[in-house]
């Protein structure tokens, strides 16, 4: 993975990318990875991350960002198909001051109305349900 100097190599998502921590994977290609959020703000909450060492949106080259957004499109489409939802919140936090808790660029895809979202990074979800949702979503990817 490419590197910039201020990036923390030991953040949780860097460890997931290196295979040092598990995740409920839903999609992977050469440039991006998608997996389930384990503290979901709604049922089916997924994350898409680039395979590039960027903390925020400002540190990723445009071509890598474009590829990551293509994965965001794929995952959102799969969520709509498999979960039968029409609305998906796309959220992305930049820096601690914005509430970012994991310092590796990521996009939240939350298939629920904004008004109904649970707290951010607040409560662990039901792992069996998350695993089942990952299998469901990944089947169309
Ligand atoms: P942010 O605050 O925007 O950086 O979001 C980080 C997200 O990562 C939160 O929604 C957490 O619930 C989620 N998260 C933290 N650790 C893990 C993990 N090991 N696997 C999946 N999601 C995680």
The 10s digit of each residue's pLDDT in 55-113 is 999 999 999 999 999 999 999 999 999 999 999 999 999 999 999 999 999 999 999 99
- In percent, the amount of the chain with pLDDT more than 90 equals 96
Of 45, 67, 104, 106, which one is the catalytic site residue? Answer: 106
What is the SS3 assignment for 25?
Answer: strand
**Contacts for 128 with CB less than 8 Å, ≥ 6 apart:** none
| Ligand 1 neighbour 23 (Cβ under 6 A) | yes
Global pTM exceeds 0.95:
yes
Phi, psi of 19 (to 5 degrees): 80, 15
The string of DSSP letters for 44-72 reads T-EEEEESS--SSGGGS-HHHHHHHHHHH
Greatest pairwise CA separation for the chain in angstroms: 42
Residue 1: pLDDT above 80?
A: no
Reply yes or no on whether 67 is catalytic.
no
Report which ligand 1 atom has the smallest distance to the Cα of 120. 10
What domains appear along the chain, each with residue ranges and CATH number? 2-140 (3.30.428.10)
pLDDT at 6: 86
Q: Please give the Cα distance from 69 to 15 (Å, whole number).
A: 22
Among positive and negative, which fits the CA dihedral 17, 133, 139, 93?
A: negative
Residue 5: pLDDT above 70?
A: no
Q: What angle do CA 137, 20, 89 make, to 5 degrees?
A: 35
């Amino acid at each position: 993975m490419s590197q910039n100097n201020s990036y923390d190599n030991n953040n949780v998502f860097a460890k997931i990318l290196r295979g040092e921590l598990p995740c409920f994977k839903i999609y992977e290609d050469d440039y991006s990875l998608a997996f389930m959020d384990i503290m979901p703000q709604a049922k089916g909450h997924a994350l898409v991350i680039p395979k590039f060492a960027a903390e925020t949106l400002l540190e990723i080259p445009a071509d890598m960002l474009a590829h990551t957004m293509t994965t965001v499109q794929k995952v959102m489409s799969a969520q709509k198909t498999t979960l039968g939802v029409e609305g998906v919140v796309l959220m992305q936090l930049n820096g601690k001051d914005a509430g970012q808790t994991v310092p590796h660029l990521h996009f939240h895809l939350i298939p629920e109305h904004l008004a109904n979202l649970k707290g951010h990074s607040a409560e662990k979800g039901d792992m069996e349900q998350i695993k089942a949702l990952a299998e469901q979503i990944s089947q169309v990817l």
